[in-house]
């Protein structure tokens, strides 16, 4: 590996090192503009100064609502200089989800991408704590002038490694998203721990950053550039033409969700041939259907494959299935495994009933202990206590087993969550919305297998007497009130939902007909 990882205590330290070590090397490429390491570092310091001039300090929070843009990294790292946190808001949120997140995180300033300004305008009068809104990009851009007026600011003396650097909202088991707080220290550890054995040639290779930065899979990947010393080609969103442009511009490394790979395969041999130029292909956030994975490996024989498993609460990656394991003909079954833990991470398989370690090879809840873990959910101590044990273990809510060489196989979910195309959907969120439809007596949301998205959202509904409506109406009703990917794509109508003696809906029974031919339930 032709790169050196700088020593870092605070998250901006990686970028500061590159700005000093190779000031004229490329850092970010976005549209027609390129930032060198020194220019990027100057923009972060000026952003810190502009935030400070607007009254932002240690322990405060700002929010940014935009498609992928270097401004996300400038605000995040600039906030770190002051000990402030940045909430990267999911721009796909709809209805009251958007103002809930901005208000819940306590954002005092909101940076909004020009293409999303109308979306913010809908809820602007409900943003109770916001003092200022700054438009990023487009003809209405205010960010450049706001940033340029900032006095370059170094890290404040009172900033601590444990200060929260970023807040990412994860779908909520109680029907509302929860703010996952990731400290500077956690993000530093994640940046180093998750490197695995991937190869990078500093100053030559280039990341293609396409995953949305409101996911750790987007932000953490974009932050990888200064860690290994390579530039990031940033595109606003996952789009076939934008991805192709990145590869043609020289991108060598990319991280995508399996659904995108399926779309590339469907686009035909010419498109797959273009992406064969990649040196490294990372994927995760959802299981990769084996036919899709095998087709990609056949089409890209010289590309290194890295599968990652993780969650927002651990800053992203916590296990990696490396290229060697992908190509291990003696163990083809490991293609459906999640790999082995990253460095500085302990793993346990725990019996959910006894909380003792499961017997070797037996299934149980997957727990991790790692310095990259969240410090907890913002303003939700009870949910934090359910997530983190007193001795530092993080309960993932996923069920799995480990083989005799330490490879993790994920089999099911304790938490009632669906992953569709890499997006997390918690059933209670969708159930909360659909239960408000006047025709619905009761509803259960389940995930069912899908060849493109891994799994997709299905509603199982019992109607009130004489109140039945067409499934399309329920789907549209949900889509108007939730991010589109959370809305069901199909509806089953039943007389009543199956329940156990205590009244709990038996979702496993509802899922069983759809997953009966699969060796896993997710």
pLDDT digits (tens, 9 = 90+) for 191-200: 999 887 888 9
pLDDT of residue 3: 80
Max mean pLDDT among 11-15, 236-240, 272-276, 498-502 falls in 11-15
**DSSP readout, 213-231?**
TTSHHHHHHHTHHHHHT-E
CA 451 to chain CA centroid, Å, is: 21
pLDDT of residue 211: 92
% residues pLDDT > 90 (the chain): 69
pLDDT digits (tens, 9 = 90+) for 298-311: 999 999 999 999 99
First-to-last C-alpha distance (Å) of the chain? 35
pLDDT of residue 504: 61
For residue 357, pLDDT over 70 is answered with yes
pLDDT band at 132 (very low <50, low <70, confident <90, very high): very high
For residue 505, pLDDT over 80 is answered with no
Q: What is the mean pLDDT of residues 282-286?
A: 82
For residue 259, pLDDT over 80 is answered with no
pLDDT band at 500 (very low <50, low <70, confident <90, very high): low
* Angle 297-300-305 from CA coordinates, rounded to 5°: 60
Q: Which of 184, 206, 188, 222 is nearest to 70 (CA)?
A: 222
For residue 432, pLDDT over 60 is answered with yes
SS3 content of the chain, % helix, strand, coil (to 5): 35, 25, 40
Lowest mean pLDDT among 73-77, 130-134, 287-291: 287-291
Max mean pLDDT among 24-38, 171-185, 481-495, 497-511 falls in 24-38
Question: Is the distance from CB of 286 to CB of 454 less than 8 angstroms?
Answer: yes
pLDDT of residue 367: 97
pLDDT band at 280 (very low <50, low <70, confident <90, very high): very high
pLDDT of residue 362: 87
Q: What is the mean pLDDT of the chain?
A: 91
pLDDT band at 502 (very low <50, low <70, confident <90, very high): very low
Q: What is the mean pLDDT of residues 252-260?
A: 88
pLDDT digits (tens, 9 = 90+) for 151-185: 999 999 999 999 999 999 986 545 678 999 999 99
Domain edges within the chain:
13-324, 420-515
Residues 6+ apart with CB under 8 A from 484: 92, 94
Q: Which fold has domain 13-324?
A: Rossmann fold (3.40.50)
Instruction: Say how far apart CA 64 and CA 52 lie, in whole Å.
Output: 16
**DSSP readout, 300-359?**
-TTSEEEEEEEEGGGTEEEEEE-HHHHT-TT-GGGGGS-BEEPTT-EEEEE-TTT-SBPP
420-515 falls under which CATH superfamily?
A: ANL, C-terminal domain (3.30.300.30)
Residues 6+ apart with CB under 8 A from 380: 178, 179
Q: Is 22 in a helix, a strand, or coil?
A: coil
Q: What is the mean pLDDT of residues 429-457?
A: 87
For residue 224, pLDDT over 80 is answered with yes
pTM (2 decimals)?
A: 0.84
């Amino acid at each position: 590996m032709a790169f050196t990882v700088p020593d870092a205590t605070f998250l901006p330290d990686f970028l500061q090192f590159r700005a000093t070590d190779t000031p004229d090397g490329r850092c970010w490429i976005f549209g027609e503009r390129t930032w060198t390491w020194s220019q990027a570092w100057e923009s972060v310091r000026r952003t810190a100064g502009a935030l400070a001039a607007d009254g932002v300090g240690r322990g405060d929070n700002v929010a940014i609502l935009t498609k992928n843009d270097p401004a996300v990294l400038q605000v995040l790292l600039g906030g770190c200089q002051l000990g402030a946190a940045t909430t990267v808001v999911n721009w796909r949120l709809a209805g009251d989800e958007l103002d809930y997140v901005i208000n819940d995180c306590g954002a005092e300033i909101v940076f909004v991408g020009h293409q999303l300004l109308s979306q913010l305008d809908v809820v602007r009068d409900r943003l109770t704590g916001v003092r200022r809104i700054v438009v990023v990009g487009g003809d209405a851009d205010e960010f450049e002038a706001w940033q340029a007026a900032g006095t370059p600011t170094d890290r404040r003396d009172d900033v601590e490694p444990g200060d929260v650097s970023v807040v990412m909202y994860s779908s909520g088991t109680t029907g509302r998203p929860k703010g996952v707080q990731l400290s500077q220290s956690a993000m530093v550890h994640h940046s180093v721990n998750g490197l695995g054995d991937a190869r990078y040639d500093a100053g030559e290779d280039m990341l293609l950053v396409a995953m949305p930065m409101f996911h750790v899979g987007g932000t953490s990947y974009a932050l990888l550039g200064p860690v290994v010393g390579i530039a990031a080609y940033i595109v606003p969103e996952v789009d076939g033409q934008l991805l192709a442009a990145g590869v043609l511009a020289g991108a060598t490394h990319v991280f995508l969700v399996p659904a995108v790979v399926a779309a590339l395969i469907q686009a035909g041999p010419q498109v797959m041939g273009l992406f064969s130029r990649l040196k490294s292909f990372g994927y995760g956030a959802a299981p990769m259907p084996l036919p899709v994975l095998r087709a990609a490996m056949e089409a890209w024989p010289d590309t290194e494959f890295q599968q990652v498993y993780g969650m927002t609460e651990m800053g992203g990656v916590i296990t990696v299935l490396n290229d060697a394991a992908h190509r291990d003909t003696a163990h083809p079954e490991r293609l459906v495994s999640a790999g082995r833990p990253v460095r500085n991470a302990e793993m346990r398989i725990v019996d959910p009933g006894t909380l003792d370690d499961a017997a070797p090879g037996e299934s149980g809840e997957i727990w991790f202990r790692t310095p990259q873990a969240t410090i907890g959910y913002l303003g939700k101590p009870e949910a934090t206590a359910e997530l983190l044990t007193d001795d530092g273990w993080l309960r993932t809510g996923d069920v799995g087993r480990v083989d005799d060489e330490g490879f993790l196989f994920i089999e099911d979910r304790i938490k009632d969550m669906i992953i569709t195309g890499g997006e997390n959907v918690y059933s209670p969120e969708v159930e909360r919305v659909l239960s408000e439809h006047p025709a619905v007596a009761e509803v259960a949301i389940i995930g069912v297998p899908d060849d493109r998205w891994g799994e997709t959202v299905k509603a199982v509904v019992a109607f009130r007497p004489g109140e039945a409506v067409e499934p399309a109406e329920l789907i549209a009703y949900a889509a108007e009130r939730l991010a589109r990917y959370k809305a069901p794509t199909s509806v089953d109508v039943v007389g009543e939902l199956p329940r156990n003696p205590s009244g709990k809906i038996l979702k496993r029974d509802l899922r069983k007909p759809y997953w009966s031919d699969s060796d896993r339930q997710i």
